[in-house]
Amino acid sequence: MQRVVLLGASGSIGTSVLNLLRKTHNSFSLLGISVHRNVEAAKKIIAEFAPKYLSVSGLGENDLPQHLPVKLLPMCEMAAIDEADCVVVALPGLAALRPVLAAIEAGKRIVMANKEAIVCAGALIGSALLRSHALLLPADSEHCGIFQCLSGEKNFRGVFRRSESLDHVWLTASGGPFFDLPDSEFDSITVESALRHPTWSMGAKISIDSATMANKGLEIIEAGWLYGLRPGEISVAVHRSSIVHALVRFCDGTILAQMSPPSMEIPLGRCLVHPEKIHFAGKMLNPLEPGIFEFHEADRKRFPCLALGERAFSVGLSAPCAFDAANSAAVEAFMRREIPFRAIPLAIEHTLSTINFAELSDADSVEEHHSEAHGIAMNFLKKRF
């Protein structure tokens, strides 16, 4: 029986993990959960799964209901607790960084369903992993797909190491809800329309990132860190059906593709039971369906956030951290209906052109740089819009 700590239990990824635990209750038990402010969700999870520990990051102890049948712990302490066998990181944004570092230092098996911590602090996380016996498994569908394609290679030793036979990687993108939208209509894009993703059911922030294709920029940076890839070795292919999640070309000219239905339960399940597999109860993939293998070039003029992510990856240093922070600030403002959709890349461009890049050697410096970039983007948007 594997004891699981679930960080970010009330979000969309956390909900998928809980569904998996229901189906695999003979193999896993829920040891601890964290939520930000959603105490009602936490109470329901506690009633069903009876975890031993709870962390609530957005409220003080005095704001919590009395007599909860759990022990309250700080999140980083729970991520490193001796009793845990596996830590699932489903936290949004940079909030995942310190818990991930704590879990790595404690030598945990980590299911990583957060890209921002790797984007902003890849060097820090990679260095910590090399000093630890922890195992980090990427749960993003694309990066889990790359992992599966590489797993059969003789020299593959996990993430944050370069596989000698690896030549090139393609990440696939759905294209979001505006792939076919005429350029003339971009000025009228609303928050509601940006949230209507064509194939995936996701949280609000990642849905907006998919609509701008900033998400694919973040995933390029993440893939670079996870698999030792350099600029020019990662491409993006728009794949509307979201069936192929990654393609990997090897030095001998062969290409492997990882395909599965667009469900987060599949990569999360693969990570939870790696190297085994779980039974998928949804609709299975039929490779003979028409149009299932269609690919398109990504349009970086209509979706400049993708090009800005590639630029940050090429610059290196703290540029990926600044890219993530500026994008987060702009998405927050867009969701508050303070700025138009087209302003999101403008804020990122301004921030990348304004801030000074540096090496980020610890969590403090990552958080400080992220905060600075976030502030630059917000100030630009307030003055411009």
Neighbours of 279 (CB within 10 A): 7
Structure tokens at 87: 């830590």
Is residue 125 included in any domain, yes or no?
yes
Neighbours of 221 (CB within 10 A): 27
Positive or negative, the Cα torsion across 61, 63, 64, 67? positive
Residues paired with 30 in a beta bridge:
4
According to the model, what pLDDT value does residue 101 have? 98
According to the model, what pLDDT value does residue 110 have? 98
C-alpha distances (whole Å) from 115 to each of 94, 97, 112, 120, 230 are 9, 10, 8, 9, 18
- Give the pLDDT confidence of 47-102 residue by residue, as tens digits: 999 999 999 999 887 888 888 899 999 999 999 999 999 999 999 999 999 999 99
Q: Which residues contact 67 (CB under 8 A, 6 or more apart)?
A: none
CB 236 within 8 A of CB 220: yes
Report the CATH number at residue 66. 3.40.50.720
Residue 9 main-chain phi, psi, to 5 deg: -70, -20
Residues paired with 28 in a beta bridge:
2
Q: Is the pLDDT of residue 188 over 90?
A: yes
Is residue 84 included in any domain, yes or no?
yes
- Give the pLDDT confidence of 203-217 residue by residue, as tens digits: 899 999 999 999 999
Structure tokens at 328: 């987060």
- Give the pLDDT confidence of 152-182 residue by residue, as tens digits: 898 898 999 999 999 999 999 999 999 999 9
- Measured CA to CA, the distance from residue 207 to residue 215 in angstroms comes to 9
Is residue 111 included in any domain, yes or no?
yes
User: Mean pLDDT, the chain, as a whole number?
Assistant: 95
CB 98 within 8 A of CB 121: no
Is residue 303 included in any domain, yes or no?
no
Q: Is the pLDDT of residue 186 over 80?
A: yes
Domain tally, the chain: 1
Is residue 54 included in any domain, yes or no?
yes
Is residue 319 included in any domain, yes or no?
no
According to the model, what pLDDT value does residue 155 have? 85
- Give the pLDDT confidence of 341-351 residue by residue, as tens digits: 999 999 999 99
According to the model, what pLDDT value does residue 159 have? 97
Regarding pTM above 0.85, the answer is: yes
98-102, 199-203, 278-282, 290-294: lowest mean pLDDT where? 199-203
- Give the pLDDT confidence of 218-260 residue by residue, as tens digits: 999 999 999 999 999 999 999 999 999 999 999 999 999 999 9
Is residue 91 included in any domain, yes or no?
yes
Is residue 146 included in any domain, yes or no?
no
According to the model, what pLDDT value does residue 291 have? 79
* DSSP classification of residue 183: G
- Measured CA to CA, the distance from residue 35 to residue 54 in angstroms comes to 8
- Give the pLDDT confidence of 293-310 residue by residue, as tens digits: 899 999 999 999 999 999
Domain of residue 55, residue span: 2-138
Within a 13 Å sphere around the CA of 263, how many CA atoms are in the beta-carbon half?
Answer: 17
Instruction: State what percent of residues in the chain have pLDDT above 70.
Output: 100
